[in-house]
Structure 1
Amino acid sequence: MEELRSERHPARAEIRKRVLALLLVFAAGVACGAVGYHVPVHRIAGISPADGQQNGTQTPPVRPTTPGGLCGAESNVIQVARAVGPAVVTIVNMQRPSGSSELRRAGFGSGFIVRSDGLILTNHHVVAGADRVDVVTLGDDPIPARVLGADPRIDIAVLQVERRNLPVVPIGSSDRLQVGQQAIAIGNSLGFERTVTVGVLSALDRAIPGAGTPLRDLIQTDAAIHPGNSGGPLLDSCGRAIGVNTAAVRGPAGTGGIGFAVPINTAMRAVDDVTRHGRIIVPWMGISYAEISENLARAYDLPVEEGVIVSAVAANSPAARAGLRSGDIIVSLDGAPLTSAGRLQELIREADVGQRVQLGILRDGRRQTLTLVLEEMPREQTVGG
């Protein structure tokens, strides 16, 4: 039957032969394409090289906004790193081993210059036990530093080097921070000078245990904090110091860690104490507490949506003597509303040891006023604030 149809329609048979021949030629071309004729993709698509490429670099989907050809927030981080980096220093802890007269490096950390006449902030644990502290500024040899004051209760140390006209880190405020805002850490991470890491503020008013005295009211960040970062600045997106990097808590292998920083206002209060009184003074109430938020108030049916709720009271503390109890809600201090835990910290930090303060509290739904006399925080205590 097939032969009969071919005889009846010779034109169709001829067409089929030609099509078959073309297919064979095309198949041969595909098989030899690696060494045969190549049709550029841009010609098939009707796009000229200038439309998608220029000088060998593809045009990005977002238009660059900086001379360096960058498009996003990294240009801001670059500016901060360039401006602040020269004011970040290396702190070297030199100690004399038992039975030896030779000083050796026992450890190192970071610090940053807060006054052009050589005043430097770092951590207490960076300089603890040192027989000599050396500071290495950008492009300089080690400079011996004096420890003007150091306190493990807030893990802050204030140093002085004999230099003038030094670059400084601009100081911000830690009392108005917001969870989610950008955080930039600069320090000598693992010994690599002026390493920059970027993240956000993950939480505020954190506490972590320490040797005897837990550190409280800390800033938590996911900006990487490694050994050697301690004492370096935690910065906001404008390059202002909002904290002093102090610790990192590591999870299981491969899970990274969480960084913490001492609020800059706490650190600058220490600078003021050292210059005025020759030592660091930490006013103390003797409570642990949590900030009340709208969600917390709703979840626990609290009578207010602002203030702090007392979770623990230290024995023989100013709070205990004032009659404060666990479960009390502090809503004001000397008539100033406590809109956040940061506000309580601010008011206590600005007060003096020995000062009487009036606490407005809610207990069992009733308002009361208690009088509390602030004391200096003991060197060893387990309940802070």
Structure 2
Amino acid sequence: MEEFEHHERKGWIVYLVVGIIIGSILGGIFGTFIVFKNPTIFPWILSQTPQTQIGTNQTQVQVPTNLIDIQNQVEEVANKVSPAVVRIVSTTQVISPFFLQVIPQEGLGSGVIIREDGLILTNNHVIADATKIEVTLSNGKTYKGEVLGADPISDLALVKINATNLPTAPLGDSSKVKVGEFVVAIGNPYGLDHTVTFGVISAVERNIDTGNNTMYGVIQTDAAINPGNSGGPLVNLKGEVIGINTMIYQNAQGLGFAVSSNTAKKVIDSILKTGKVRWPYLGIQVTTMTQEIANSYNIAYTEGAFVVDVVVGSPAYMGGIRKYDVITAVNGKAIKTADDLISTIRNYSPNDRVTITVSRNGKMMDLQVVLGSK
């Protein structure tokens, strides 16, 4: 009985398989007729169909011309900018927990040459507390590096080497960067010199809490950034440096961040002029305005930055800003959150005069404030 049932199931399976094969053949013929009769229905099927050239054994796939153009641009950018990217090895002195003695420890990072006489832009954390800095160029030559200035707030630093006629990379305008724009990251991850990765701009004007401080207005990208990439350039397809790669989220893929080139320009200018970085200062404590705050202080809700406190004698105080004001605009630019205010003020320089619009007791006021420095 069992043997009969077994043969019966086997015959059913054979019929099913034969039916599927016949159906597939007929479906393929019918589908092919539709596609070739109406190529606009599935144009990608025709464009990606492998084609074998007569007289060869190689199969070629048609690639859209615009993708080839992008590939050529990436290659051109890599060839243009890579010679200006350097490897930085910094040596710091640490105390051994086992022998209680000072031992040297090396750190690896990247940098980009921004001036022919050996001026190099990198991250502050790449050279922080270094007792020795070695800079290796793309041609293999190694130079002693000297720190001209560093800024922990922006995580940027300037290093100088004694060399001339070096290849450089131009700094672009990061305010023109758009989400979705193609970018190239170049650096030395894990000591693998001049590694090139490709991606897009995922977001702009990000405010990132690093644990030690908050970095404002950074660029987010999915271009691969790894340890050793720090200090290397993030480049647009014009070959312009639009950011300096600074950090990644360790527990996530495709989350890299770069300090914007416009922030870098401010840091460079300040270091070259004064040897240090001076950031604009208001002298207020703010939080993002909410309906709960409005209810608590019995004031009308207005979107903006709520002033929790004002330092007496500070630029904000001298300009007329008071506790419980709601800052709604700076020079006409709308302020919706506390972070908006901080990142907007950072775009200015000490001693700049700005018009700050506040809501006080339901009335809008324009106040003139001369920014201080810190």
Give the letter aligned to residue 61 of structure 1: Q
Aligned-partner SS, 2:166: coil
Match of 2:63 in 1: 62
Q: CA deviation at 1:258?
A: 1.0
Counterpart amino acid of residue 109 in structure 1: G
Query: Does 2:325 correspond to 1:330?
Result: no
- In the alignment, the residues of structure 1 paired with residue 109 and residue 194 of structure 2 have an alpha-carbon distance, to the nearest angstrom, of 11
Distance 1:244 1:174, change over 3 A: same
For residue 203 of structure 2, what is the aligned residue in structure 1? 203
What is the TM-score normalised by the length of structure 1? 0.68
Letter in 1 for 2:62: P
Match of 1:92 among 68, 74, 89: 89
Matches within 5 A, 1:37-76: 52-53=52-53, 55-62=56-63, 71-76=68-73
Which one-letter code corresponds to 1:272 in the other structure? D
8 Å Cα contact 1:287-1:310 kept in structure 2: no
Q: Cα–Cα, structure 1 residues 191 and 145, in superposed 2: closer, same or farther, change >3 Å?
A: same
Per-residue CA distance 1:81-112 (angstroms, 9 max, x = gap):
11101101011111244599998452010100
What residue identity is the alignment partner of 1:229? Answer: N
- 8 Å Cα contact 1:313/1:319 also seen in 2: no
Query: Which letter does structure 1 place at the counterpart of 2:321?
Result: G
Aligned residue type for 1:84? V
What residue number does 1:358 align with?
A: 355
Give structure 2 stretches of 5+ with no counterpart: 1-50, 289-300
Equivalence for 2:117? 117
**1:183 matched to which residue of 2?**
183
- Map of 2:347 onto structure 1: 349
Q: Percent identity?
A: 34
Q: 1:78 aligns with which of 75, 80, 83?
A: 75
- Contact 2:330–2:344 under 8 Å retained in 1: no
- Rg larger in 1 or in 2? 1
Please give the per-residue CA displacement for 1:205-257, whole angstroms capped at 9, x wherever unaligned: 21222353221111111111111111111111211011111111123xxx414
SS at the partner of 2:217? strand
The letter for the 2-side match of 1:58 is T
Shift of 1:148: 0.4
Deviations 1:304-349 (A, max 9, x none): 9xxxx3267676475577536688353342xx54599999957753
Separation (CA, whole Å) in 1 of partners of 2:84 and 2:276 = 24
1:198-277 paired onto structure 2 within 5 Å: 198-251=198-251, 255-277=252-274
**Partners of 1:169 and 1:372 in 2: how far apart?**
37
Deviation at 1:357, TM superposition (A): 2.5
Give the structure 2 partner of residue 148 of structure 1: 148
Q: Mark the CA change 1:140 to 1:149 in structure 2 (over 3 Å): closer, same or farther.
A: same
Q: Is the 8 A contact 1:310 1:325 kept in 2?
A: no
Alignment partners' CA distance in 2, 1:102 and 1:73: 51
Q: Give the counterpart letter for 2:152 in structure 1.
A: P
Partner of 1:43: none
The answer to whether the 8 Å contact 1:134/1:144 transfers is: yes
Rounded Cα–Cα distance in structure 2 between residues aligned with 1:326 and 1:234: 41
Structure 1 gaps of 5+ residues are: 1-50, 291-301, 378-385
Q: Match for residue 160 of structure 1? A: 160
RMSD between aligned alpha carbons?
A: 3.4
Matched, 1:310 2:308: no
Q: Deviations over 1:89-146 (max 9, x none)?
A: 0111112445999984520101000111111100000001100111111123321111
Distance 1:60 1:313 in 2: 63
SS of equivalent to 2:273 = helix
Cα distance, 1:350–1:209 mapped onto 2, change above 3 Å: closer
Indicate if the aligned counterparts of 2:179 and 2:202 stay in contact, CA closer than 8 A. Answer: yes
| CA distance in structure 2 between the aligned counterparts of 1:133 and 1:311, rounded to whole angstroms | 45
Cα distance change of structure 1 residues 184 and 284 upon mapping to structure 2, 3 Å threshold: farther
Give the SS at the match of 1:193: coil
**Which shows bigger deviation, 53-62 or 229-238?**
53-62
In the superposition, relative to structure 1, how do residues 164 and 105 fare at CA in structure 2: closer, same or farther (>3 Å)? farther
* Separation (CA, whole Å) in 1 of partners of 2:341 and 2:239: 23
Counterpart contact for 1:109–1:227, Cα < 8 Å: yes
C-alpha spacing 1:103/1:263, structure 2 compared with 1 (3 Å): same
Tell me the amino acid that sits aligned with residue 355 of structure 2. Q
Report the secondary structure of 1:190's partner residue.
helix
| Alignment check: 8 A CA contact 1:332 1:361 kept | no
SS in 2 for 1:349: coil
Alignment of 1:17-56 (within 5 A): 52-53=52-53, 55-56=56-57
Change (3 A) 1:160 1:320: same
- Alpha-carbon distance in 2 for matches of 1:289, 1:174: 27
Measured in 1, the distance between the counterparts of 2:173 and 2:243 equals 9
After TM superposition, give the deviation of residue 170 of structure 1 in Å: 1.5
Take 1:166 and 1:80, find their aligned partners in 2: how far apart are those partners? 17
Residue 179 of structure 2 aligns to a residue in which SS? coil
